Structure 1
Amino acid sequence: MTALYKDAQRPVAERVADLLARMTPEEKFAQMHAYWLVLSETGDHRERSDMSDEFAGVAEQTALTERLKLGVGQITRPLGTHIVEAKTGVRAANRLQKMLMEETRLGIPALFHEECLVGLLCKDATLFPSPLNYGSTWDPDLIRQAARCIGAEARATGCHQGLAPVLDVSRDVRWGRTEETFGEDAWLVGVMACAYVEGLQGEKRDLLATLKHYVGHSFSEGARNHAPVHLGFCELNDTFLLPFEMAVKLTNAGSVMPAYHDIDNQPGHSDAFLMTEILRERWGFDGIIVADYGGISLLHQHHGVSHDAAESAALAFNAGLDVELPKDDCARHLAEAVARGLISMQKIDEIVARTLTEKFRLGLFEKPYADEQTIELQSATTRQTAREVATRSLTLLENNGVLPLQGKPRVAVIGPTADDPLALLSGYSFPVHLIISDMLEQTSQVTTPLAALRQTLGEPLVGYAKGCHIIEKRTAGAPVFPGDTSGKPLQQSPVSLDTSLIPEALRVAEESEVIVACVGDLAGLFQSGTVGEGSDTDSLNLPGVQQQLLEALVATGKPVVVVMTGGRPYNLQGLEDKVAALLMAWAPGQEGGWAIADVLTGRAEPQGRLVVSVPKSAGAMPYYYNHKLKSGGTPFAFHFGSRYPFGYGKSWTEFDWHSLTLLTPEVAMDGDIAVSVTLTNVGERSGSEVVQLYVHDKVASMVRPIKELKAFQRVALEPGASATLTFHVPVDMLNFTDRNGNRIVEPGEFELMVGASSGDIHDTVSVTVCGTPRILPQYWQMMSRCEVKKG
């Protein structure tokens, strides 16, 4: 007789209960962790071993084959762990899955997860632009399409869960993981995250998106990786929890990953208030919570809130965690934790039931294998989407009229990022994330700016010189695992200070009419690069001797167009006023060279708008546009502020703003605010503008920011054409968190500011919200909308 849990026609809850009742404690524990394996088509699987074993305090284990007979919750990055052809990797994963289905007592399939923030982390998968590029498009529909493409590649290779998107709100661009964020505005991060989750998961949620890093990871002490976070609940809820709340409630995100740090001395991986009370009980989250890699081990290894791995496991799982990733460093001690009375089997059953629920709901019992014959990577549609994201994210910060380049001038392309494919990729791209010695061999699909400009302008018209190095030799690994400094030498900066290549660059520059200077940084984990996870900085000057190179190029008197790529903004130390143009490209991915060439030559419009402010200096940090009035100090600090603020970006044309009209001078507590503005393209070229609506609460019971984004809309207009935009903002969106932890809206006067950026406000009106203070319900209105009427 077929077991009830194997009957696909039975309700999921019944199947879970039946299977759970059949499982031994050891089989249950196995569902609460992953294995990180290098898989083999022949079934000769082996465990991945590296410095993380030492980091987690891992000892010799029982033979893998014996442990696999108990089953396992997840398999970590089956195709993203090493260089393997997709078909070969899928065959190997299928071989392991077949063993789990047919050679274990209960036949419970594993759930496979991969990284997919900037494309599937897999050989030959499409290398998408960074999340900073995603945000800079100000186009949720485009990001939804990009995530849909990433999800298609993931599904085709057997991935069931993607460890993305990142919902951290940028607060200090010295933080290496700034490149992974959608920007510094909490609501915009939420909007983009919702679009990404919708695209990745699809309507059926048959691929789980993972919201990370829950929560406040980006506001760490000194912008250092894993460092403590100092936040009260009001600010935590208003800024850092908001995107997570939006993604959970609006898109039914399937998974959440807590962060490495502690908040007010409470580590994220043992925070029952955040993982259980807020996430599950208040918000209604029904997915699975997975540990960040090694995060449970940190509870005893670094945070010192437990004595050993068994106690750490009990702390994390009691707090709300469901699955330990990437391995079983602490989960293997669960039997001991139960015996010591640290965790109950009732709690174990509750946790395992959630994992089994997802496996049944995803259909893994019925369709456990991927079809290697249907794998499609780098499709024309996917590549085009990656190129469109890159192109529409490029942000023009300066232009004295040299751009777009006219005709076919002689161009000198100079700089360390001009012909380095890795310079276009962020830290979670496959070639960069593995930190392998032959990374460049995995970047054949990347088109550099030099290659694209030579193709566009003609090779005889484009000279090239590297000018300097950022890092002379990329090497694998870091001398210390993230966060661990006990008894080991500190990492010395790998950045090059060699200036010997500058004279040759000047010689090439002298033969040109225009210089395109490509500068920026290189992504790399744990200080193997100048930006990325664990690659934080103490300066916002360009790494190495790139500033000297730029100064020498500007001194030639020829127009210098600076193209900056990377994962954070850098200062040019005053050269901003001397260069002919400055284009921010972030990490635009494999199609980034084409995007840069298209914008420089006028084939495309620079449509990007900043989602992180460019602070005057590192001394302004932490800086973000939606700060409080007193953030600048008293008197206002000379080093505070931003030359290029949030929302800023130039176009090929100019717009006239007029007729700002408040359609609802007074509005009820449960109503919508309506305001309209008219734009006219008064330039000679077609172009687009991102119209941004900001709000300021003039008097409140708690201190409020000077302005906050509440709506935006891109509008494209031909020369002489006009459009009227009408924004509708629910009063719910004027909320903030009170001392009792409630989201409330207070009556009073609110300024509505409409402009082209947070620093370029064209007009302001005031609306009065009438009534008595209101505590928002569980499902409050989180999204504004805009109607566009042209003509």
Structure 2
Amino acid sequence: MNFIKTSLLLLFFTFLGTAQTTNKTQNPISKAQFIEELIAKMTVEEKLGQLNLPTSGDITTGQANSSDVAKNIKEGKVGGLFNIKSASKIREVQKIAVEQTRLKIPLLFGMDVIHGYETTFPIPLGLSSTWNLSLIERSAQIAAKEASADGINWTFSPMVDISPDPRWGRVSEGSGEDPYLGSQIAKAMVKGYQGTDLSLNSTILACVKHFALYGAPEAGREYNTVDMSRIRMYNDYFPPYKAAVDAGVGSVMASFNEVDGVPATANKWLMTEVLRNQWKFKGFVVTDYTAVQELMEHGIGDFQTVSAAALKAGIEMDMVSGGFLNTLKKSLDEGKVSMQQIDNAVRLILNAKYDLGLFEDPYRYCDLKRNKTDIFTKENRAEARKTAAESFVLLKNDNQLLPLKKAGTIAIVGPLGNNAVNMPGTWSVATKHEMAIPLLKGMQEVLGQSAKVIYAKGSNLTEDAAYEERATMFGKTLNRDSRTKEQLLNEALQIAGQADIIVAALGESSEMSGESSSRTELEIPSVQKELLAALLKTGKPVVLVLFTGRPLVLVEEDKNLSAILNVWFPGTEAGYAIADVLFGDENPSGKLTATFPRSVGQIPIYYSHKNTGRPLTNKEGKFVKFLSNYIDERNEPLYPFGYGLSYTTFKYDNLKVSSPTMTFSDKITVSVDVSNTGNFDGKEVVQLYSRDVVGSVTRPIKELKGFQKIALKKGEKKTVSFELSVGDLKFYDSNLDFVAEPGVFEFFIGTNSDVQQKVSIELVK
């Protein structure tokens, strides 16, 4: 009787929207017992409803009860919603779930909170370029605090897909090409979102995506086929996903692409053998948007067949397709899926809701006071400004043209010089884009009365109006100018003639990169290149402020310009942060996390490549017949992984290792002295690389094994040390065993991946 009484009390408290479970009731029961009791009460239809994740559709404030989605919620056909914003609206919808359904199970509310909420931080590729894990974690923490104050309890982030191909537009949403760095960032993001207690109303459930290999589509084309060996999967692509799982991520999103010829959404080896059995993942897996439905286009069956295949592979929640909701009952009746498989999926989703504290208080994320005090605050914007400044990468600075003096007349020229809505970048769905700070406003406010700032657009984004429309979707217009190219250029030259220095604000619009924004050409659009050439002909100093969501081909710009500052898409505080760096209030310290090619023909290009049997060893770019090189281009990139300049200079000396040998139970220390030899205080990312000289399978020429971001005052010197154990030297061999093999290892420490200075050790049994 006590068992029945406790269960009835729990459901009663749920109905009231107050604390009703677990360790806070007078008759506490365990999480597992609570979930099992609830599952036992559910009909098949209610169970399938928990596996269904539709979009919010037609729900509007004050009319939630009359919406089509509300009808499905009342019938127990919805487990969660996404893309619904505002605590008041979400409270209305949650009230339907917990007061107007039979079992009163609360909903999950998800959103693509990718690089901030209303306070938007740099795009993830920019965030990764800080190499500052505490800043990255803090950005996720602020995003969680803001999103949770607006009713959101689940984010579809972090995206940790490794990509060596900048033609793929979604490289903007990841952390670059390196699995070690990507793994560290994955852990930091999960910790930032989820904290140490998911039941706190300032934390939200994270979702690592896209599992797996999404960043390696053939030809760099979105959603395209992926095909690679398993040894490469394990060594180069899997580590960031596993790092997120090890960090306790609560959910995983399946990728659109196929893996070993089977689409990820129906791939049992991937979702069950790797994720569950090998990595011990305990959360739930959600599909990407309509991915179950898309399995039919992949050619593996009709709607009922592919829905059953996804469930049996290890998918728990179906986003938008409705395949689980509408076909699994029939598959169950026909013996094509089992009740155990359905119950297991339901159990994992209910576990997440329990961990979020939704059974205790389904309205814990709907505090209207927090909605007014915790979002887009002065403090959060200050963090975004600081983080953006640290993400910028100084690509060139001949003759110390930068930092600029706060004096004279400065001309801002370019289609991105006075445009707020493009500053937050792609995947900034919760941002109030009109509140972002464009470059013109930022420079004017930072300079005040100390200098004059003038502006001309100079050109449209592209000459092709249709292309510009595709590149400025979702309201991110650049307000295409109806004047001719010549008229725009003449105005720009007139403005430039009045200036002492020209700041050219050029590059991509925010939607030229991101999902479904693959490009075959990676240069700055030709009309902008013509504008830049004309500005250079004035003889005035020109600084290129480059906006981009991916590595671009900048050979001409590197040749002709004295200063290039890559600012990615910096977020809501863009203009202030750019001005801080241009005028030296902040010293740039960003480093590239993705290689910048000299030509699209070099792609895929990445630092940790392997040698061929006929490697090109000269560094002069000279063609040598019958070696591995091009006849029309150099082998090396324009800017290597880890590259980035500062207004000061750093010197590396005294590279050494604590012992020339290391056993499998030992640890060794590799150290170097780093000195600030320039005229400014600055920050440097000290990077440690290794090479396994001889292996049972071929090994990369360099692999990142550690990094430290240090601050050095002018004239200051520090010793930077890295401690390594045998675990840092392991890799997956041809049997997919994680091993370290005896032999010689070389270590390199320097300012980017092109470092040559090295020391060696021998690993012995």
TM score, norm. by length of structure 1: 0.87
Contact in 2 for aligned 1:496/1:545 (Cα 8 Å): no
Contact in 2 for aligned 1:179/1:426 (Cα 8 Å): no
1:58-457 to structure 2, matched below 5 A, reads: 65=71, 68-79=74-85, 89-120=86-117, 125-206=118-199, 207-249=204-246, 251-300=247-296, 302-307=297-302, 309-326=303-320, 328-369=322-363, 370-375=366-371, 376-400=374-398, 401-430=400-429, 442-457=432-447
> Residue 709 of structure 1: SS of its match in structure 2?
strand
Cα separation, 1, equivalents of 2:64 and 2:585: 52
Distance apart, 1:98 and its partner CA? 1.3
Q: Specify the alignment match of 1:485 in structure 2.
A: none
Deviations 1:453-475, CA, capped at 9 Å, x for gaps = 12223477111111111168799
Q: Specify the alignment match of 1:523 in structure 2.
A: 510
Cα separation, 2, equivalents of 1:424 and 1:277: 42
Cα separation, 2, equivalents of 1:380 and 1:358: 32
Task: Kindly indicate whether residue 477 of structure 2 is the aligned counterpart of residue 504 of structure 1.
Answer: no
AA at the equivalent of 1:514:
I
> Residue 729 of structure 1: SS of its match in structure 2?
strand
AA at the equivalent of 1:444:
E
Equivalent residue in structure 2 for 1:542, among 494, 502, 524:
524
Cα separation, 1, equivalents of 2:602 and 2:646: 27
Distance apart, 1:477 and its partner CA? 9.7
Q: Specify the alignment match of 1:703 in structure 2.
A: 698
> Residue 357 of structure 1: SS of its match in structure 2?
helix
Cα separation, 2, equivalents of 1:244 and 1:20: 30
> Residue 113 of structure 2: SS of its match in structure 1?
coil
Aligned in 2, Cα 1:42/1:411: closer, same or farther, shift over 3 Å? closer
AA at the equivalent of 1:499:
K
Cα separation, 1, equivalents of 2:403 and 2:340: 66
Equivalent residue in structure 2 for 1:723, among 700, 711, 718:
718
Distance apart, 1:523 and its partner CA? 2.4
Deviations 1:665-702, CA, capped at 9 Å, x for gaps = 21122432311111111222211211100001100111
TM score, norm. by length of structure 2: 0.89
Deviations 1:44-79, CA, capped at 9 Å, x for gaps = 45779xxxxxxxxxxxxxx85156322521111211
Q: Specify the alignment match of 1:758 in structure 2.
A: 753
Cα separation, 2, equivalents of 1:294 and 1:13: 31
AA at the equivalent of 1:36:
T
Contact in 2 for aligned 1:43/1:96 (Cα 8 Å): no
Task: Kindly indicate whether residue 551 of structure 2 is the aligned counterpart of residue 599 of structure 1.
Answer: no
Contact in 2 for aligned 1:564/1:584 (Cα 8 Å): yes
AA at the equivalent of 2:485:
T
> Residue 582 of structure 1: SS of its match in structure 2?
strand
Deviations 1:359-409, CA, capped at 9 Å, x for gaps = 122211121011112212111221111111101011111112111112413
Cα separation, 2, equivalents of 1:535 and 1:407: 38
Task: Kindly indicate whether residue 468 of structure 2 is the aligned counterpart of residue 469 of structure 1.
Answer: no
Q: Specify the alignment match of 2:606 in structure 1.
A: 624
Cα separation, 2, equivalents of 1:497 and 1:133: 34
Contact in 2 for aligned 1:39/1:93 (Cα 8 Å): no
Identity of aligned residues (%): 35
AA at the equivalent of 1:450:
L
Moved more, 359-368 or 290-299: 359-368
AA at the equivalent of 2:93:
L
Moved more, 549-558 or 704-713: 549-558
> Residue 719 of structure 1: SS of its match in structure 2?
coil
> Residue 585 of structure 2: SS of its match in structure 1?
coil
Distance apart, 1:478 and its partner CA? 7.2
Contact in 2 for aligned 1:496/1:544 (Cα 8 Å): no
> Residue 291 of structure 2: SS of its match in structure 1?
coil
Deviations 1:69-123, CA, capped at 9 Å, x for gaps = 22521111211xxxxxxxxx32221122112112111111111111111112xxx
Deviations 1:267-321, CA, capped at 9 Å, x for gaps = 0101111111111111111111111111111111x201112x2111111111011
Q: Specify the alignment match of 1:654 in structure 2.
A: 649
Distance apart, 1:719 and its partner CA? 1.9
> Residue 224 of structure 2: SS of its match in structure 1?
coil
Cα separation, 2, equivalents of 1:622 and 1:722: 38
Q: Specify the alignment match of 1:554 in structure 2.
A: 536
> Residue 750 of structure 1: SS of its match in structure 2?
strand
AA at the equivalent of 1:691:
V
Distance apart, 1:146 and its partner CA? 1.0
AA at the equivalent of 2:585:
R
Equivalent residue in structure 1 for 2:597, among 615, 623, 634:
615
AA at the equivalent of 1:379:
T
Cα separation, 1, equivalents of 2:383 and 2:447: 24
Distance apart, 1:431 and its partner CA? 6.9
Q: Specify the alignment match of 1:22 in structure 2.
A: 41
Contact in 2 for aligned 1:32/1:72 (Cα 8 Å): yes
Task: Kindly indicate whether residue 7 of structure 2 is the aligned counterpart of residue 3 of structure 1.
Answer: yes
Cα separation, 1, equivalents of 2:65 and 2:520: 42
Contact in 2 for aligned 1:312/1:330 (Cα 8 Å): no
Distance apart, 1:476 and its partner CA? 12
Deviations 1:458-506, CA, capped at 9 Å, x for gaps = 4771111111111687999979x9xxxxxxxxxxxx9999623112111
Q: Specify the alignment match of 1:785 in structure 2.
A: none
Aligned in 2, Cα 1:635/1:238: closer, same or farther, shift over 3 Å? closer
Contact in 2 for aligned 1:214/1:257 (Cα 8 Å): yes
Identify unmatched segments of 5+ residues in structure 1: 49-62, 80-88, 433-441, 482-493, 525-529, 772-791
AA at the equivalent of 1:456:
V
Aligned in 2, Cα 1:15/1:714: closer, same or farther, shift over 3 Å? same
AA at the equivalent of 1:452:
G
AA at the equivalent of 1:424:
M
Distance apart, 1:664 and its partner CA? 2.5
Deviations 1:685-723, CA, capped at 9 Å, x for gaps = 211211100001100111111101001111211222111
Aligned in 2, Cα 1:66/1:726: closer, same or farther, shift over 3 Å? closer
Aligned in 2, Cα 1:708/1:46: closer, same or farther, shift over 3 Å? farther
Q: How many residues align?
A: 713
Deviations 1:146-169, CA, capped at 9 Å, x for gaps = 111111012112222111011011
AA at the equivalent of 2:737:
N
Contact in 1 for aligned 2:198/2:357 (Cα 8 Å): no
> Residue 350 of structure 1: SS of its match in structure 2?
helix
Contact in 1 for aligned 2:73/2:96 (Cα 8 Å): no
Q: Specify the alignment match of 2:622 in structure 1.
A: none
Contact in 2 for aligned 1:670/1:732 (Cα 8 Å): no
Contact in 2 for aligned 1:405/1:601 (Cα 8 Å): yes
Contact in 1 for aligned 2:553/2:600 (Cα 8 Å): no
> Residue 689 of structure 2: SS of its match in structure 1?
strand
Cα separation, 1, equivalents of 2:481 and 2:519: 12
Task: Kindly indicate whether residue 552 of structure 2 is the aligned counterpart of residue 570 of structure 1.
Answer: yes
Distance apart, 1:259 and its partner CA? 0.5
Aligned in 2, Cα 1:44/1:161: closer, same or farther, shift over 3 Å? closer
Cα separation, 2, equivalents of 1:496 and 1:132: 33
Moved more, 38-47 or 512-521: 38-47
